[in-house]
Amino acid sequence: MKWHTFRILIGSRSVWSHLGWRDLKVRYANSVIGPWWSVANLVVVVSSSSLAVSFISMSNTLSVLPRIAVGYIFWTFISSSLLESAWSFQNAKGVLLNTEIHEVLVVYQLVWRNMVVFAHNLVSDGKILAQCFKHTSKCG
């Protein structure tokens, strides 16, 4: 049974990746700044959280920021995966009823979509994190 699911994953990669990309395009279709909205949200939350934690703990903001940023990026991936998984089959009802695709492709579509957003957040905030790590290594 496990190998059958793995064969479905490999054999229908174009289907679930296309559906995942389509979901992302639909999600950001009406937005002016598109996926950069999630990056802006991430920057605001991480910056304000870092300032608050550094104020409370009396530590350097640049030493706290990378840990909070990495933690928040991972938490966003886990949280969105769990929250969207509750509705994934309901949202894909039309596709599942009108086509001959396997149900497990809905799960692969969900994971692919969230992995793309996760990678986008890591890459876009990588420069900020690199600068923080560079400054914290100088500060000791």
Give the mean pLDDT of 76-91: 88
pLDDT of residue 27: 76
Q: Measure the CA–CA gap between 113 and 122, rounded to whole angstroms.
A: 14
In which band, very low, low, confident or very high, does the pLDDT at 82 lie, cut at 50, 70 and 90?
Answer: very high
Give residue-wise pLDDT tens across range 105-123.
888 888 888 888 888 888 8
pLDDT of 136 higher than 70: no
Q: Between the CA of residue 8 and those of 1, 16, 64, 93, what are the distances in Å?
A: 11, 10, 43, 19
More confident of the two residues 20 and 79: 79
What H or E segment, with its residue span, contains residue 129? helix 104-139
Where along the chain do its domains lie?
A: 2-139
Confirm if 62 and 139 have CB atoms less than 8 A apart. Answer: yes
Give the mean pLDDT of 63-69: 82
The DSSP code for 1 is: -
Confirm if 87 and 98 have CB atoms less than 8 A apart. Answer: no
Q: Measure the CA–CA gap between 92 and 106, rounded to whole angstroms.
A: 7
Confirm if 74 and 119 have CB atoms less than 8 A apart. Answer: no
In which band, very low, low, confident or very high, does the pLDDT at 77 lie, cut at 50, 70 and 90?
Answer: very high
Quote the crossing angle between the two packed helices 36-57 and 104-139, to the nearest 10°.
40
